[in-house]
Homo-oligomer: A and B are copies of this chain.
Amino acid sequence: MLSFENDYNTGAHPQILARFLETNLVPQTGYGNDEYCTSAKEKIRAAIGKPEADIFFLVGGTQTNAVVISSLLMPYQGVIAADTGHVSVHEAGAIEHTGHKVLVIPSSSNAAADATANPAGTAGKIAPAALRAYLEAYYADGNYEHMVFPGAVYISHPTELGTLYTKAELTALHEICREYKIPLFLDGARLGYGLMSKVTDVTLADIAELTDVFYIGGTKVGAICGEAVVFPNGNMPAHFLTHVKQNGALLAKGRLLGIQFDTLFTDDLYLAISKNAIDRAAELVEVMAKHGFATHSDSPTNQQFFAVSNDMMVRLAERVAFSFWENLDADHTVIRFVTSWATTKENIEELDQILAEITG
């Protein structure tokens, strides 16, 4: 069935599979000390313009968030996140499992505030002013020693709602974090789609400049698994490999990740395939609109949200796979369509045809 269910419903980019075949029987040392990991790291350092960056490859997103965040915090510290943040809601308590509280900042109100003014969107983001207010209130509280210290800030870019930070916002967040001496961590599970968005003014080099640690998502952008954690300033915590191992996240055959990132960062493949998702998303929005489906919120990346009647949702679901997002009211539901590196023009045409049949 035609599927816009998510951006991880297919395998790996064909060039990655080709490299698997090519390298398959070459003996390599384990645990990330293979030559493909080494090469991939060099290419990423070049792409971000940070020759001194430390890079570590992990397998998946929740794992990466838990491993990185717990490596940044002292036991008495927690991580600040938007209430809609993946670490707040959809990771089964992985952060708390490492002993740390997720300190939540409401994101919804700022969404309403200036949605029209910001083409990169506002929903799902931490407004710099909200971060500053949180930190000021914390240290102004006479009982703060009985509370959880804010020890790091987590943002996702794109956010869970498909929106993006502007360069000015990232700069402001980074400035506040430096002022309070807490690291800024950017979850880039869908980073490629953010970088290729038509409305963004943020580059990969900007992210390396304006965060203390971030990851370049592979699982949702062309890899079969894998996330590249980047400490841009050579600031990887001591004994990070042991920390990773202790969290059950160290891959024996590190080559699996090295080969994939080496391929994705050869000849700008990562950006090229990300652009495909953005272009297909624009076409998808157009096709949906043509058949009477307006987007529910502005989303400048590869996730698009539509409010439909429950009746229509059922009819659509018979022909095309998408995701339930949330109940809007008793009779309407918000649904999500996602494009990816693997979405083709033919997929969009097929959707057009299906919609014509359903709504015709």
Q: Which residues of A contact B (CB under 8 A)?
A: 1, 3, 5-6, 8-12, 14, 17, 20-21, 23-30, 59-67, 70-71, 74-76, 78, 89-94, 96-97, 99-102, 104, 140, 142-143, 145-149, 219-220, 224-225, 238-239, 241-243, 245-253, 255-256, 321, 324, 327, 342
Residues of B within 8 A of A70 (CB): 75
A103 nearest in chain B by CB position? B93
Q: A76-B242, A94-B247 are in contact. List 18 more A-B contacts (CB 8 A).
A: A5-B29, A6-B30, A10-B26, A17-B21, A60-B248, A60-B251, A60-B252, A61-B252, A65-B248, A66-B248, A71-B75, A76-B239, A90-B147, A93-B246, A101-B102, A146-B245, A149-B242, A224-B253
Give the docked Cα–Cα distance between A30 and B90 (Å). 15
Residues of B within 8 A of A6 (CB): 30
The minimal Cβ–Cβ distance linking A97 to chain B, given in whole angstroms, is 5
Q: Once the chains bind, are B3 and A27 in contact (CB under 8 Å)?
A: yes
Q: Once the chains bind, are A248 and B143 in contact (CB under 8 Å)?
A: no
- Known contacts A78-B96, A149-B239; decide if A11 and B29 are in contact (CB<8 Å): no
A323 nearest in chain B by CB position? B142
A67 nearest in chain B by CB position? B248
Q: Once the chains bind, are A242 and B60 in contact (CB under 8 Å)?
A: no
Q: Once the chains bind, are A11 and B5 in contact (CB under 8 Å)?
A: no
B62, B99, B100, B238: the one contacting A248 at CB < 8 Å is B62
B27, B143, B147: the one contacting A1 at CB < 8 Å is B27
How many copies of the shown chain assemble into the complex?
Answer: 4
- Known contacts A14-B24, A21-B17, A75-B243; decide if A100 and B92 are in contact (CB<8 Å): no
B14, B20, B78, B242: the one contacting A12 at CB < 8 Å is B20
The minimal Cβ–Cβ distance linking A146 to chain B, given in whole angstroms, is 5
Residues of B within 8 A of A78 (CB): 93, 96
Q: Once the chains bind, are A147 and B92 in contact (CB under 8 Å)?
A: yes
Give the docked Cα–Cα distance between A72 and B262 (Å). 39
Give the docked Cα–Cα distance between A24 and B143 (Å). 25
The minimal Cβ–Cβ distance linking A305 to chain B, given in whole angstroms, is 15
B12, B25, B59, B250: the one contacting A251 at CB < 8 Å is B59
The minimal Cβ–Cβ distance linking A24 to chain B, given in whole angstroms, is 4
Give the docked Cα–Cα distance between A271 and B304 (Å). 47
